[in-house]
């Protein structure tokens, strides 16, 4: 018996207990600007938000920019090796300081050249005679809470949240044998704009119902809907299921720590509210969602590869590229369907859709998470 239970049996029809809500969210939650405004302040401003990978910024001064909900941030590798997050605006007149990713030992504001060190401390003010000396002394860019789980960087506006090790403690046993924190970051795409509400993208990833039908040109044949497997139910911060491989497509495995079952699975992990990770023995595909408008979302994404696979495969470079090509196709397939749901939701019907039990069970759980955050922080 594995000590990593992954055993919700859905091989037969599932009849939910009476009273279980199997309705989809109402159309308006995907189209109403007021709904997004509430989610920005009561979810994205109140919880840990996934922004990217620590492995993408390995050296002192390496940084990437991202958004926590709508708020621009900088994540920067410090001299002591830690990863620090801060607000991405200048203390003078609020100009955004950095874009994309890069390496900088100093942050110089492009507007009037105020200068900050890597930790965000203001160290240089041009024409400083015009400023009150005491006012500018010791100022720092607004610091944000930052934590790393399995190589994924999370940022929060709140400083009082439980650390990720605690919050995701029951998820960790499912994935720790993969050495995900050591997966090598090879691809990062900062801008991938979807014409859909952020929740639609999240919901698309946490159900295996669409895989066979939507992904005919990518993962549908190899990871069909009827091989889906499910992890634990009723978790408040995450979900995990698997779009498992059919036997003729079992991936090569070079990681001796994985169980036989784990070598055949393509896990899909949802880290509420905005992080998605698809994980197999050889690579991981991650996405962090940044809502821009109620129907427009940036889905920053990347690919990282198992160090075991990179050592063990005959042609690792070709493998990296083959996976990238498949994921690009899968993304386009998902993008089209999310856009269609967004377009259909414009009707504004008051009749809710239906959820498949159990293939869409985690949509129900995510909906409960959203409703609970809105109720608790409203």
Interface residue list for ligand FES (CB under 6 A)? 90, 92-93, 95, 109, 111-112, 114
Residue 111 binds which of Fe ion, ligand FES, none (CB < 5-8 A, kind-dependent)? ligand FES
Q: Tell me the C-alpha distance between 224 and 366, whole Å.
A: 23
Q: Among 159, 119, 114, 124, which residue's Cα sits nearest to residue 140?
A: 119
Instruction: Yes or no: say if 86 and 71 are a contact pair by the CB < 8 Å rule.
Output: no
Minimum CB separation from ligand FES for residue 144, in Å?
Answer: 19
Task: Give min distance, CB of 243 to Fe ion, in A.
Answer: 9
Q: Write out the residues near Fe ion by the rule CB under 5 A.
A: 334
Q: How far apart are CA 55 and CA 66, in angstroms?
A: 15
Q: Are 8 and 231 in contact (CB under 8 A)?
A: yes
Return the one option of ligand FES, Fe ion, none that residue 334 interacts with (CB less than 5 to 8 A, by type): Fe ion
Give how far Cα 125 sits from Cα of 60, 122, 146, Å.
24, 8, 28
Q: Given the complex with ligand FES, which of 108 and 148 has the nearer CB atom?
A: 108
Q: Which is nearer to ligand FES, 130 or 138 (CB)?
A: 130
Distance of closest approach, residue 128 Cβ to ligand FES, in angstroms: 12
Report the partner that residue 93 touches, choosing among ligand FES, Fe ion, none (CB closer than 5 to 8 A by kind): ligand FES
Q: CB 206 → Fe ion: shortest distance, Å?
A: 10
Q: Considering CB distances under 5 to 8 angstroms, the limit depending on partner class, which of Fe ion, ligand FES, none binds residue 238? A: none
CB nearer ligand FES, residue 114 or residue 149: 114
Q: What is the three-class DSSP state of 116?
A: strand
Phi and psi of 66, rounded to 5°? -160, -170
Contact 258, 177 (CB under 8 A): yes
Binding partner selected for residue 109 from Fe ion, ligand FES, none, CB under the kind-specific 5 to 8 Å limit: ligand FES
d(CA 301, CA 288): 6
Minimum distance of ligand FES from residue 99's CB (angstroms): 14
Binding partner of residue 296 among ligand FES, Fe ion, none, CB under 5 to 8 Å per kind?
A: none
First vs last C-alpha separation in the chain: 44
Cα 67 from Cα 89, distance rounded (Å)? 12
Q: Which is nearer to ligand FES, 111 or 213 (CB)?
A: 111
Instruction: Name the minimum Å distance from CB 102 to ligand FES.
Output: 18
Q: Tell me if the bond preceding 32 is cis, omega within 30° of 0.
A: no
Pairing assessment for the beta strands 275-279 and 283-293 based on DSSP bridges: antiparallel
From the list ligand FES, Fe ion, none, partner contacted by residue 189 (C-beta under 5 to 8 A by kind): none
Neighbour count for residue 321 (Cβ, 10 Å) = 13
Q: Which is nearer to ligand FES, 50 or 90 (CB)?
A: 90
Of 106 and 112, CB closest to ligand FES:
112
Q: What are phi and psi of 197, to 5 degrees?
A: -65, 145
Residue with Cβ nearer ligand FES (116 or 272): 116
Question: Cβ 113 to ligand FES, closest distance in Å?
Answer: 6
Q: How far is the CB of 93 from ligand FES (least distance, A)?
A: 4
Residue of 134, 130, 114 whose CA lies nearest to 122: 114
In DSSP terms, 259 is beta-bridged to: none
Tell me the closest approach of the beta carbon of residue 71 to ligand FES, in angstroms: 17
Q: Where are the alpha helices (DSSP H) in the chain?
A: 33-39, 133-136, 164-167, 172-175, 198-205, 211-214, 307-312, 316-345, 361-377
From residue 259, how far is each of 3, 4, 176, 226, 256 by CA, in Å?
Answer: 10, 10, 12, 22, 8
Question: For residues 67 and 244, which CB has a smaller minimum distance to Fe ion in the complex?
Answer: 244
| Closer of 225 and 282 to Fe ion (Cβ) | 225
């Amino acid at each position: 018996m594995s000590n990593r239970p992954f055993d919700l049996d859905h091989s037969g029809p599932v009849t939910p207990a009476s009273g279980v809500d199997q309705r989809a969210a109402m159309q308006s939650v995907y189209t109403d600007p007021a709904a997004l405004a509430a989610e920005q302040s009561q979810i994205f401003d109140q919880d840990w938000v996934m922004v990217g990978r620590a492995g993408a910024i390995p050296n002192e001064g390496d940084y990437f920019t991202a958004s926590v909900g709508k708020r621009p941030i900088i994540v920067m590798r410090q001299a002591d090796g830690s990863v620090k997050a801060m607000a991405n605006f200048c203390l003078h007149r609020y100009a955004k300081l950095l874009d994309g990713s890069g390496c900088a030992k100093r942050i110089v504001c492009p507007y009037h050249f105020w200068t900050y060190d890597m930790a965000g401390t203001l160290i240089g003010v041009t024409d400083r005679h015009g400023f009150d000396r005491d006012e500018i002394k010791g100022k720092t860019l607004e610091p944000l809470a930052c934590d790393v789980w399995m190589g994924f960087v999370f940022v929060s506006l709140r400083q009082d949240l439980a650390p990720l090790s605690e919050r995701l403690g029951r998820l960790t046993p499912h994935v720790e044998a993969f050495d995900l924190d050591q997966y090598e970051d090879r691809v990062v795409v900062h801008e991938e704009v979807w014409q859909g509400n952020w929740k639609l993208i999240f919901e698309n990833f946490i159900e295996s119902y669409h895989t066979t039908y939507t992904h005919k040109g990518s993962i549908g044949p190899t990871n069909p809907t009827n091989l889906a497997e499910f992890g634990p139910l009723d978790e408040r911060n995450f979900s995990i299921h698997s779009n498992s491989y059919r036997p003729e497509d079992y991936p090569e495995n070079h990681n001796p720590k994985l169980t036989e079952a784990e070598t055949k699975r393509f896990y899909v992990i949802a880290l509420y509210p905005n992080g998605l990770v698809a994980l197999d023995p050889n690579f991981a595909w991650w996405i962090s969602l940044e809502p821009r408008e109620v129907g427009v979302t940036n889905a920053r994404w990347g690919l990282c590869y198992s160090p075991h696979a990179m050592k063990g495969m005959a042609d690792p470079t070709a493998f990296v590229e083959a996976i990238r090509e498949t994921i690009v196709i899968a993304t386009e397939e998902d993008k089209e369907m999310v856009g269609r749901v967004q377009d259909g939701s414009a009707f504004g019907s008051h009749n809710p859709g239906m959820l498949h039990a159990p293939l869409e069970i985690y949509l129900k759980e995510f909906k409960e998470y959203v409703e609970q955050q809105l109720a608790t922080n409203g």
